[in-house]
Each structure stands twice: as structure tokens, then as C-alpha cells.
Structure 1
Amino acid sequence: MGPKKCQVCDEATSKYKCPTCLIHYCSVVCFKKHKEIPCVKPISPSEAKLTSASVSHVERPYHVDEPSEVLQQMQLESIASSSEIRDALKDEELQKLIYNIDCSPDAENELDRAMQVDVFRKFADKILSSISPP
């Protein structure tokens, strides 16, 4: 295996690897650019089997009635880079509510129930304020 190319700028030869997600980068500048959006540790195939065995996920068809309601890349990046949102996601009650929505065969009703809980309502407000124009 020869030298790897930087996966951030896609130009220079990589000298380093992100300690979290293991992508290759070439410089402090590229590392900082990479860290603008939180990354995650890749899971091994054995961890993936454990995860998929212990977490049930409901597959839903991807359908959007109103295409203008789909978030743009910049909005998604704004959410991902918000320390306020990342901090909120540390709350176990909020994690359970999100998990219940994701795993529910009736996600809309589960979302309606979650919106009755203060921690979820505040979380939703934080997301909306991070994607709304100033």
C-alpha cells in the first residue's frame, strides 16, 4: 500500500489519520476543516452485527410531499455543527424519545407524543432556530 491521499482536500499526500473516524488528512488546516462537522468512530463488522441485533429500525419508504421542506446541505451542516444541539443530544430522555420515533411503525404519532415532552420540544426549537435564516 502506497501513500494515501488526503480525504479532505483530495490533493496532498496524507500524513495523519483522524483519531475518531480514521479518515486520512494532510495538515492542521484539513484536520480543522474535517472537524467542522462531528465525525464518528467506524464500527467493525462484529460491532455492526451486535448493533443490528440489539437495535430494531423500521424501514420506511422515502417520500416527500413537499420538496421545499427537504433540508439543504447547509442547513444539515448547521445542525451538525451546533454545540447546543450536540449537548442536548446527551440527554438520555431525549435519546429515548428519538429512538422511539425511529423504531416506531407509526413514527408520526410517536413524534406527536414526543412533542408533548418539554425536552423534545426544546430540542426541536433548537434545530429550527439553527436552520432558520437570521
Structure 2
Amino acid sequence: MGPRKCQVCDEAQSKYKCPTCLIPYCSLICFKKHKEIPCVKLASSSEAKLTSGSVSHVERPYHVDEPSEVLQQLQFESIASSSEIRDALKDEELQKLIQNIDGSPDAGSELDKAMELEVFRIFTNKILSTISPQQ
């Protein structure tokens, strides 16, 4: 595997990796920009921890009808390293929507409500374009 490009500025060759989420970055400036939004620790277990201690999480079982729809590790890494997605997450309205979904015992209903809002639809489209195979 050759030199990697900085995932923050998408210009320079990376020299470092974030100790939390392992995305490559090139400088202190890019590291500080990356840390403006708490990143997710890539864990080998199914439990991911956010660097912010203020986020609550409702434990609930999940069922997958189509195993092919489960995200692969590289897709998670693409999402975590996307500056476009990180920038979108700076929106306070979007943050509240995501917290409502994550903290709700009826996450499906909260997700349906969020999908009615343009800010959330734009965000989900950014995620889908990040994880979809480029053609």
C-alpha cells in the first residue's frame, strides 16, 4: 500500500493517523479541523464509542433481513473520513435529529420523521454517495 492522501484537506500526503478513528491527516492544522467534530473510535466489537461523553445510547437488538445491506469496515471508514459528512454534522439541527433517533426507543419512527426534513435527506444522500461504489 503506497502513501495515503490526507483525508481532511484531500491534498497533501498524510504523515499521521488520528488516534481515535485512524483517518490519515497531514498536519496539526488538519488534525484540529478533524477534531472540530468528535470522531468515532473504530472498535473490533460491535460497540462503537463516541469521544464525547455526553452522548447517550439506547441499547436495542437489531435484525437484518438482508445481510448484504450491512456496511463493511471500508464503508464505515469512508463515512468517518469524509470531510463533506463531517462538515454537514456541524449543523445543530442535524445533530439534534440524529440524537433523537439514537436516543429513542422507537428509532424507526424518529427516522421516518427525520426523513421528512430536507437537512436530513441531504445528509443521508451524502452518506449513500460516499458508500456506494463509484461507477
Same fold, TM-score > 0.5, yes or no: yes
Q: Deviations over 1:51-96 (max 9, x none)?
A: 3xxx543210132221100001111111111100000000000000
Higher relative contact order (CA 8 A, sep 6+): 2
Match for residue 77 of structure 2?
77
Higher gyration radius (CA): 1
Q: TM-score, normalised by structure 1?
A: 0.63
Aligned to 2:97: 97
Structure 1 residue ranges without an equivalent (≥5): 1-27
Which structure dedicates a bigger proportion of its chain to helix? 1
Could you report, residue by residue, the CA deviation over 1:93-123 in whole angstroms, capped at 9, with x for unpaired residues?
Answer: 0000000000111101110100001100000
Secondary structure at 2:57 match in 1 = coil
- The RMSD of aligned alpha carbons is 2.7
| Counterpart Cα distance in 2 of 1:94 and 1:130 | 18
Moved beyond 4 Å, runs of 4+: 37-42
Across the two proteins, how many residue pairs are aligned to each other?
97
Structure 2, unaligned stretches of length 5 or more? 1-13, 26-33, 42-51
Who is 2:6 aligned against? none
Distance in 1 between the 2:75 and 2:56 partners? 28
Conserved? CA contact 2:58–2:103, under 8 Å: yes
CA–CA distance in 2 between the matches of 1:93 and 1:115? 13
1:21-55 residue CA offsets vs partner (Å, 9 max, x unmatched): xxxxxxx83x248442867589xxxx95xx3xxx5
